[in-house]
Structure 1
């Protein structure tokens, strides 16, 4: 997969990537030193390309670099962390 450009949108509290004119997001909320990752959405038109995983990895890397604890409210994020134990220390 070609690298995608993921940006953090503080105002809307989400990480965003536009792929083939489709907006893909990971929505979050921050409370103190905790980031709750609440929902990942990738439109069906661009699904199956690993986009959700890339956005999740990007968000977790950002959380780590900002010393935030992660609450994986989204089942996709929770499952992704289970499959990538190198991120388990964030929860």
Structure 2
């Protein structure tokens, strides 16, 4: 993909999605009081190496920031991405900061 993928908020399924060639990559989310949980991300082989996984994470984190939600990254993909990108550390819910190695 040369352009940024189009990400759809499928509210009925509680997930952000990218569609390509009949396949769907997605990041599930669950809204809580003042927080958003990201429990699972799926990127099919057809999407690998195209930046789709990273785009889904960035979209989810932008969604959280815009709505002043703290992020609970129970998905290892989200947790790993956030750990490597300090610009998102402020979004992490206090209960998850030590798990990600983020100082308070």
Question: How many pairs are equivalent?
Answer: 91
Counterparts of 1:22 and 1:2 in 2: how far apart (Å)? 18
**TM-score normalised according to structure 1 size:** 0.94
Q: CA RMSD in A?
A: 1.0
Q: Any conservation in 2 of the 1:4–1:19 contact (CA below 8 Å)? A: no
2:53 is the counterpart of 1:52: yes
What displacement does 1:21 show?
Answer: 2.7
Larger radius of gyration: 2
Q: Which moved more, 1:54-63 or 1:40-49?
A: 40-49
| Higher relative contact order (Cα pairs below 8 Å, separated by 6+ residues) | 1
Write out per-residue CA displacement over residues 50-73 of structure 1, whole angstroms, 9 at most, x where no aligned residue: 110001000100110001000000
Unmatched segments (≥5 aa) in structure 1: none
Aligned to 1:14: 15
Write out per-residue CA displacement over residues 4-63 of structure 1, whole angstroms, 9 at most, x where no aligned residue: 110111111100111233201000111111100011101012212111000100010011
Runs of 4 or more, structure 1, over 6 Å off, are none
Q: Which moved more, 1:69-78 or 1:45-54?
A: 45-54
Unmatched segments (≥5 aa) in structure 2: 93-104
**TM-score normalised according to structure 2 size:** 0.83
2:100 is the counterpart of 1:61: no
- The aligned runs of 1:1-91 (5 Å cut-off) are 1-91=2-92
